[in-house]
Chain A
Amino acid sequence: MELAETKNIDTQLFFNLYDGILAHAEFDPIDERIKKSYALIKDQSAPDIKNEDWRYTPIRRYLSLFEFQPHISEIPTCEPKFSLENKVTIENGHITSIELTKETANKVEILPLIEGIGKYPELAEKYFYKTPLRNNDYFAHINQSFCLNGLFIYVHDHCVIDEPIYIQQDCYNENETFHQTHNLVLVGRDASMHLIKKELCTGEGGKVFHNLLTDAVVLDNGKFSFSRLQNECKDTYQITHFYASLAPHAQLNLNNVTIGGAFARNNYWVEMNGVESHAKLRGLSLLNDHQHADNWIRISHNAPFCESDQIFKAIVDDEATSVFSGRIYVAKHAQKTNAYQSNKNIVLTETANSYSRPQLEIYADDVKCSHGSTSGQLNEDELFYLRARGIKETMARKLLLYAFAGNLVEQLDDEHFKEEVKKLIDQKFES
């Protein structure tokens, strides 16, 4: 925090950046939402560390690294195409290609946001923007106020998509980029989809700030898996908002792996609105240098007989910081809730930091909830055992770190995703 928060990061700055895109927003039914968000934040500025939700993450300091030069952001159009694989590409903040196999295209529609809303206004009206954005969710409102760029993904009822759909988000701009996408995902009744999002930089260019928002709705007995691999270069900063609401018997699997990037704040907010819905969240952060990753989780049990479990792990080296704030909320009538939360951190140096804030807020009386949090060094007994068998200390440490991370990797959903994560872990540990 030694870098003074000199610049006043207020809403006007973002407004300038988008050159008054707000004025062009005439898309019912989200128009009203956009205006509401904007009205809420127009006189505000970005939260500082006095804000409880940003206590360990100096977001204004990160924002003050940016110039915020105004540029006109055109919304490009992009026609979905048939291909041999399911892949969406987002380059420098713009959707540049949407490719689906013929089989997949029969089950899911992936359209640029505005087209999707134009095609299905009644769905947009009925399902989205139901999760109450809190008044102090500043960056989500920024996204909602200015962002008309993103994807509309609609999996039709009873359609099970076997192969994962890849979304590749790449940034290689020479100039500084402030990039926002706003996605709506609707998984129909008895439908199922796995999205794998890879966030990377193929060229080291100017600094990038992402402010991303996804609003997902999973209908009755639907299943949505969302796996994210954050592996960007060292000049990438990002805030992600992910909201999901689950109907009866719906399932959400969320996998978040943070390996690259300078800063990541991930807000995962799951509203379990239907009985017997299920949410599984897994997170792994491997941080070194000055990396900072902040996972903010909120699981709301609003209906009885729901299950949620979250396991988040971090290895923090050098001068890196990991933050975990996880809250499980159980409403008064959400009886027979089964909720589990675990956060484990290994802190490798004196200068690395790990902050963990597990929280339970329970109003029902017949529930099973547990949470646990540990932060510490590698286990000395384990280390000694390995060394006593002739294994050099550096190697022994590596084996134990692999074990700590590997145990979580094994719980990720897709085999391809697992393999990819393993490879990146190898690379990171080698360096």
Chain B
Amino acid sequence: MLSIKNLHANIGGKEILKGLNLEVKSGEIHAIMGPNGSGKSTLASVLAGREEYEVTKGEITFNGKNLLELSPEERAGEGVFLAFQYPVEIPGVSMMNFLKTSVQEIREYRKQDQLDAKTFLQRVKEKQKLVELDTKLTNRSVNEGFSGGEKKRNEIFQMAMLEPTLAVLDETDSGLDIDALRIVANGVNKLHNKDNAFIVITHYQRLLEYIVPDFVHVLSEGKIVKSGDKSLAIELEEKGYDWLKEVTV
């Protein structure tokens, strides 16, 4: 589904990703861990198409298409979804209007019929339940006045609405208490099936107790320096990241 080869990326002239390789197949959950500044969020931003990041070398193929040639909105249409680490507040754009526009545009891109108002509202209700986002979305602006936990649940809610094939969760667990963490993980597990894939970027092993990954990768200084199964996450939690540096040197 996703193939990243020798990816190099800069921001503001500074190289952050320095030859990253990753293969993700349908049905898989990949966890990406690593210390601060290792390039985890850069990878998420590059996948979603953020223009400040300049890809200088390498390629990303997604379902046979060159992802790097696509605009952020086209990537979303193709099925890439980024759950933001810091979801932005957009005062004045109502949640419902935003969701409706987003779902419409994506369905148009995928050449699917538009949802009628009733089905749309039903789906909103159903997916809200999934992430226990019980706030009234009408009359609220996108993320405005949402608590930290609500913002993260709102990301997973949007993911549920848009049904992506590849979801990238950028430190979705940061700032969440244990209940919110469980809710978010639960949402992800319910949405996971054999036709989609997840890349879960996280700092701590904690989230991986709830979302069980098939693969764990350690990112350090812009490269994946070690890959393994879920036991690698536990090892990292015990030993920290420093021992890896010694291993790779």
Chain A positions within 8 Å of B, measured between CB atoms, are: 379-382, 384-393, 395-396, 399-400, 402-404, 406-407
Contacts and interface: CB of A to CB of B under 8 A. Distances in A.
A389 B84 contact: no
Interface in B98-121: 98, 101-102, 105-106, 109
A399 B71 contact: no
A385 B105 CA distance: 14
Contact of A403 (B51, B71, B82, B93): B93
Contact of B71 (A393, A400, A402): A393
Interface of B: 48-52, 71-73, 75-77, 81-82, 84, 87-88, 90-93, 97-98, 101-102, 105-106, 109, 141-142, 158, 162
A389 B98 contact: yes
Contact of A384 (B50, B92, B102): B50
A239 to B, nearest CB: 32
B88 A391 contact: no
Contacts of A404: 92
Given A382-B90, A388-B73, A390-B106, 14 more contacts: A384-B50, A387-B71, A387-B72, A387-B76, A389-B106, A389-B162, A390-B102, A390-B105, A392-B105, A395-B105, A399-B97, A400-B90, A403-B141, A407-B91
Given A395-B105, A399-B98, A388 B90 contact: no
Contacts, number: 75
A392 B73 contact: yes
A406 B92 contact: yes
Contact of A389 (B71, B76, B92): B76
B77 to A, nearest CB: 5
A390 B161 CA distance: 12
B43 to A, nearest CB: 15
Contacts of B48: 384, 388
Contacts of A384: 48, 50-51, 72
A351 B186 CA distance: 51
Contacts of A393: 71, 73
Contacts of A400: 90, 92-93
12 contacts: A381-B88, A384-B50, A386-B90, A386-B93, A387-B71, A388-B48, A388-B73, A395-B105, A403-B90, A403-B92, A407-B91, A407-B92
A387 B48 CA distance: 9
Contact of A388 (B76, B141, B142): B76
Contacts of A389: 76, 98, 102, 106, 158, 162
Contacts of B76: 387-390
Nearest to A408: B92
Contacts of B81: 388
A400 B90 CA distance: 8
Contacts of B106: 389-390
Nearest to B51: A384
A406 B93 CA distance: 9
B90 A391 contact: no
Contacts of A386: 90, 93, 98, 102
Contact of A402 (B82, B92, B158): B92
Contacts of B52: 380
A399 B101 contact: yes
A397 to B, nearest CB: 12
B159 to A, nearest CB: 10
A385 B48 CA distance: 10
